[in-house]
Structure 1
Amino acid sequence: MSGIEQQQTIDEKKIGVTPEGNQINDEAIKDDGELEQTIDPKKEKLLLAKLDLLFTPVIMLVYLSCFLDRTNIGNVKVAGMPEDIGASDQQFSTAVSIFYATYVTFETPFAIMLKKVTPRVLLTGLCIVWSLTTIFSGFIHNVGGLYTSRLILGACEAGLFPSLTIYLSMVYRREEQARRIAYLFSCAALSGAFGGLLAYAILQMDGVAGYAGWRWVYIIEGIFSIAIAVLVWYGLPTDPALHPWLTAEQQQMMKIRQQQTAAYMGSDEFKWEEIKIAFKDPKLYLSGGIQFCQDILLYGFSTFLPAILKSSGYDRLQSNLLTIPVYIVGAAIFIVAAVFSDRFMLRSPFILVANIFGIAGYIVLLTVSNDTTKFAATFLCAVAVYIGPGVNITWLSVNVAPHYRRAASIGLQQTIANTAGIVAGQIYRKSPYKLGHGFSLGALCLSQLLIVAKMIYIKWWNVRKDKIARGAIEDTRNVKTGDRELDFRYHM
């Protein structure tokens, strides 16, 4: 039996799906202990389509607005914002980096608080505050105002990505998550494309009502985010199984799916012991190291791509417009990769291959002087920029259980990783950005080594569990619950 087949067999025993994936176990357990016919595969397929229709647009839009409000600082930079508020290159770089000081501080607490506060209240509240902050950013007149707005944005947006990732795990099974996280993460790319197009259009308002074009970028994008907050309130119920637009039969199907994945989701009861187990897990720190390296690319590329293109000879409007095809290609390739990642329940090979494209792209940016060739190289970079961090967060999410252990792991992983935003703001200081490109290239190479190390560690655990189950070796596990159970198969 191959590794993939063995993995499927063990996972499917746990969730009640046959290896062929075409039917479910004959029975499921109801709350009252009675037995009930489980989900018809055709009905479940329709249910998944409806879940995607109900949840995916809301999750994508809120993350799009979040990333738009975070990275528009790159669009306004080329539109003259630093000069208008008297910010030097160093002060502007500090403004980019300071965002992550509060961002990394609040990620883990917000992830752990999600169930207690409820997704609806937490996500809507955060969205409203960062939207208002973005609007007020259009009225700043000095560096102090810029610093303040970035710190508030960082604190509010800190809770979003970990919370959305955890929310997806409440809706979808392990083998269904990479594609949905890809939808979420592709918004980082789409925000660049949409942000570039929107900035290009809004900058035409330069001088309207006496305001510079960059001020209108902040004001209009902030108003857009306020509208998204209303959508979040109504679109993300605390219990996804009770979404009002699901029929009674579909709500029952959701309950059965929750029962089938109970070992993965775990108890709703908070226990500090689960947090301690998460913080002692080597998977977390290997994943955090990988994510840090990949986020060097993500934050450097998404924030400074307009400036990178401007340094290649394009004017301020062209440099925003030309980001659009780069981001769209990156998002499209990412979604395709995620579909196959779910199909084969493999994660690491996709990151490894994507990073090879990124390595080639940064080498070209560092060594070639032709502007057209350098523009083409940004497409290669985009492959690694989005597939790397997106699939890596999935790789961690599907390999940690139960809920609070996973919440703590995702929160701390993002805390470790997003310190990369501080670094990105410092390495992309001055055209032609040789330091930034060189540092990004080095981060990719280090990421490759960490990915291989994590693959070896996970393989060791899967083999160890098999040997314990067969009685070939003594069971010396200190933790035997959640993802450390013998029938919990780690995805490679």
Structure 2
Amino acid sequence: MLDTSEKLSKSDFDSAAGEKTGDAEGHVGYAEQEIDENSTDEELSRYIINPAEEKALLRRLDVVLGPLVCVLYLIAFLDRSQLGNAASAGMLTDVGAPVNGLSVTASIFYVTYVTFEPLWTTIMKTVKASRMLPAVVIAWGAVVLGNGFIKNYPSLIACRLILGLLESALTPCLFLILSLWYQRNELAWRTAIMFVAAAVSGVVGGLVCAGFIKLDGHLGLRGWEHIYVWLGVITIVLGMISPFFIADSYHTAWFLTPRQKLLMRVRDLHAAEYRGKQDFSWGEVKRAFKDPIVYISGAMQFGFDICLYGFSTFLVVIVKALGYSTINSQLLTAPVYAWAAIVYLVCAAISDRKDMRFWLIFPTGCVTIIGYVLLVAVQHSTAVSLFACFLCATGIYSAVGLNVSWNAISNAGDRKRATAIGIQQLVGNLGGVVAGQIYRSTDKPYYRLGHACSLGAMVWAICWMFVYVAVLKKRNARKLALTEEEKNEMIAQGATGDQHPNFMYKW
């Protein structure tokens, strides 16, 4: 979506004295306050929103959508990543898992996750999100609850496969929801909410699971069984509550005033030429599948996700293998995830304010590379290994999150963006399959193979990022070289979305 400020100069917003404002493109100044629900689309498209009103509107969206996105993503990440915590508490031994059981169980989740992920965004554009997402959340909560009562290894595998199928709906659909409510320069911070939640889940998961493990023997359940039973109950409750916070469009949003709904309509009209068709269009879907930048973004995400899933799933196992007890290893992971959340929040704020992504991902990614180099090279120093975990966490979450928002703002209209998000997530989440295989139980306590592969994955992703920027720059240069006649001809021929001559790529 187009940021209104990209089209209007700062002087357009200077009406402190209340004079009539306007600009060379014929936009009507907000001081006139003449628009209402009966205004035509042409009148609304020329209207400049008062910055104070727009700020209040964004606050309202953040108050409702922010907690929803944060809590759902946090519980999803908690549910999928407790495998390492449960394993450290004896689950694999209790269910009779083989030697490589942890690696196989971690990888098997992503088989169904990546298979079904691209389908959910297309389904959500047809089925109401307020119905689909709560149903999915309740269903996977039931699976997590059931995981607490399994008695054998095949049951564990079955639970992971079903959980992967259901959770694959959440991430791409939340990305799509955010891209529909917010404009291009507003996405990085809101996407950050999701990935900070992923990092926070590590903090919460380590502390909460340490408490659950202490319940070992209570109610006839082992500590790891308490983890899954209580997380399943919490997930089901959240799924039952979530419909009250999900609006299918601003037209039906209970949390917006009539004036704010009108301003949302103005924002949509400002970006209309870039939105493309709103109804289903195979042409838009095909454009996503044919666009090389979608796959380049996916290749980057693949590398970043190998690091993310390897780190989030196996960190507690890695720390425990350094010689710490089950409880202490849970507690020691919390500061690492807290640091990752802080770094990502700072990067997301800078990204929205400065409209940049490359110069945030690259330096933090280099810090992560240094961390993995230390983990591979230094094998007999617990202090160095723990310090290296902090370095690794520095760039992982910010790289994953910023790349997702980068992909969203690089693809327009809505149907192409939805498909592009699905493709990127499919390719990227194949990294979860890889991560489960490179951190092998036979490699403990140092897991050099896993760390070396994660190091290579981060380097791989950064190399593709340079290619991505080069392609975007080339496309912008081609558009800037167009004459006005050529631009008008493209528009007359129906160029919309990112094909529109005025659409500029960002990096």
TM-score by length of 2: 0.91
Aligned to 1:284: 294
* Aligned position for 2:192: 182
**Range with greater deviation from structure 2 (16-25 or 318-327):** 16-25
CA distance in 2, matches of 1:296, 1:227: 31
| Partner in structure 2 of residue 18 of structure 1 | 9
Three-state SS of the structure 2 residue aligned to 1:205 is coil
**Structure index of larger Rg:** 2
Give the counterpart of 2:363 among 347, 353, 361. Answer: 353
Contact 1:15 1:260 (8 Å CA) reproduced: no
1:184: how far off?
1.0
The counterpart of 1:435, out of the listed 449, 465, 472, is: 449
The code of the aligned residue for 1:467 comes to A
Counterpart residue number, 1:448:
462
Written as runs of structure 1 = structure 2, the 5 A alignment for 1:261-340 is 261-340=271-350
User: What residue identity is the alignment partner of 2:467?
Assistant: A
Structure 1 contact 14–487 (Cα < 8 Å) conserved: no
- Number of paired residues? 483
Q: Distance in 2 between matches of 1:312 and 1:267?
A: 55
What amino acid maps onto 1:437 in structure 2? H
What do residues 201-226 of structure 1 show as CA deviations (whole Å, max 9, x unaligned)? 11110000211000000000111111
1:481 aligns with 2:491: no
Shift of 1:232: 1.9
Partner of 2:202: 192
Distance in 1 (alpha carbons) for counterparts of 2:5 and 2:479: 15
Distance 1:241 1:319, change over 3 A: farther
Structure 1 residues 31, 63: CA separation in 2 closer, same or farther (over 3 Å shift)? Answer: farther
Shift of 1:21: 8.7
User: Separation in 1 of the partners of 2:4 and 2:490?
Assistant: 24
Residue 71 in structure 1 maps to residue 71 in structure 2 = no
Q: Distance in 1 between matches of 2:263 and 2:451?
A: 49
1:491 aligns with 2:497: no
**Is contact 1:468–1:475 with CA below 8 Å preserved after alignment?**
no
Choose from 233, 252, 270 the match for 2:262.
252
Map 1:106-185 onto structure 2 (within 5 A).
106-185=116-195
Q: Is the 8 A contact 2:275 2:414 kept in 1?
A: yes
Q: CA deviation at 1:377?
A: 1.1
Q: How far 1:443 moved relative to its partner? A: 0.7
Question: Structure 1 38/13 Cα, relative in aligned 2: closer, same or farther at 3 Å?
Answer: closer
Any idea what the Cα deviations from partners look like across 1:287-345, whole Å, max 9, x if unmatched?
Answer: 00000000000000000000010111111111111111111110111011011111121
Partners of 2:449 and 2:485 in 1: CA distance: 54
Aligned-pair CA distance for 1:240: 3.5
Question: Whole-Å Cα distance in 2 between the matches of residues 281 and 189 of structure 1?
Answer: 31
How big is the shift at 1:429?
Answer: 0.9
Answer whether contact 2:367 2:392 (CA < 8 A) is retained. yes
Q: What's the counterpart of residue 6 of structure 1?
A: none
1:341 equivalent to 2:351? Answer yes
Aligned identity (percent) is 36
Structure 1, unpaired ranges of 5+: 1-9
Q: Distance in 2 between matches of 1:132 and 1:207?
A: 22
Letter in 2 for 1:414: Q
Report the counterpart of residue 49 of structure 1 in structure 2.
59
Per the TM alignment, residue 122 of structure 1 is displaced from its structure 2 partner at its CA by 1.5
Q: Which amino acid aligns with 1:425?
A: G
- Cα distance in 1 for partners of 2:149, 2:13 equals 57
Output the TM-score relative to the length of structure 1: 0.93
Q: 1:159/1:479 Cα in 2 relative to 1: closer, same or farther (>3 Å)?
A: farther
1:21–1:371 distance in 2 versus 1, CA, 3 Å? farther
Structure 2: which 5+ residue stretches go unaligned? 15-21, 30-34
**1:432-485 deviation digits (Å, cap 9, x = unpaired):** 211100000011111111000000000000001001246799999999321011
Say if 1:472 and 1:216 are closer, same or farther in 2 by CA, change over 3 A: same
Residue pair 1:12, 1:18 contacting (<8 A) in 2 also: no
Q: Quick one: which amino acid aligns to residue 482 of structure 1?
A: G
Residues 263, 143 of structure 1: alpha-carbon distance in 2 compared, 3 angstrom cutoff: farther
More divergent stretch after superposition (441-450 vs 257-266): 257-266
CA contact (8 A) 1:89 1:429 kept: no
Checking the alignment, whether the CA contact within 8 Å between 1:348 and 1:395 is kept in structure 2 is no
Q: CA separation in 2, counterparts of 1:345 and 1:172?
A: 14
Tell me the distance in 1 between the aligned counterparts of 2:488 and 2:58. 42
* Contact 2:276–2:496, Cα closer than 8 Å, also in 1: no
Which residue in 2 is equivalent to 1:3?
none
One of 402, 405, 417 as aligned partner of 1:406: 417
Alpha carbons of structure 1 residues 99 and 41: separation in structure 2 relative to 1, 3 Å: same
Q: Which residue number in structure 2 is paired with residue 216 of structure 1?
A: 226
1:83-110 per-residue CA deviation (whole Å, 9 max, x = no partner) reads 0111123122111111111101111110
Which amino acid is the alignment partner of residue 195 of structure 1?
G
Shift of 1:13: 6.5
Contact 1:12 1:19 in 2 (8 A): no
Question: Cα deviations across residues 101-146 of structure 1 (Å, max 9, x unaligned)?
Answer: 1101111110111121111112111101100000000000111100
SS, match of residue 265 in structure 2: helix
Alpha-carbon offset, residue 16 of structure 1: 4.8
- Aligned residue number for residue 32 of structure 2: none
CA contact (8 A) 1:397 1:406 kept: yes
